[in-house]
Amino acid sequence: MEKQEKLELLATLKISPYDEFYRVVDFLNRNLKSYNLMFGVTKKDDEMVFSIYET
C-alpha cells in the first residue's frame, strides 16, 4: 500500500501576477525538499497565491 503524504499549510501570500514566479517556486522545491517543505503557486484572476507546505 502506498504511503500518502500529508501536507500542512504553513503560510500563503497573495501577490501581483508575475510570469517568471513559477521558476522561483520550482527552484525552492528542488532545493528545500530535504527540509520537508513544498511550495506552490496558483493564479486566480488578477493575483497569484504563493503557498508553503510542510510534508
What amino acid occupies position 25?
Answer: V
Q: What does pLDDT average to in each consecutive run of 10 residues of the chain (55 residues)?
A: 80 95 97 97 94 97
Residues 6+ apart with CB under 8 A from 34: none
On the 0-12 / 13-18 / 19+ scale of CB atoms within 10 A, 11 is exposed
- Indicate the number of domains in the chain: 1
Residue 3 belongs to a domain: no
Task: Specify if 33 maps to a domain.
Answer: yes
1 lies in some domain = no
Domain that holds residue 30: 8-54
User: How many CB atoms are closer than 10 A to CB 38?
Assistant: 19
Tell me, yes or no, whether 26 lies in a domain.
yes
| Amino acid 32: pLDDT | 97
What are the distances in angstroms from CA 40 to CA 1, 2, 12, 29, 44?
A: 27, 23, 9, 9, 13
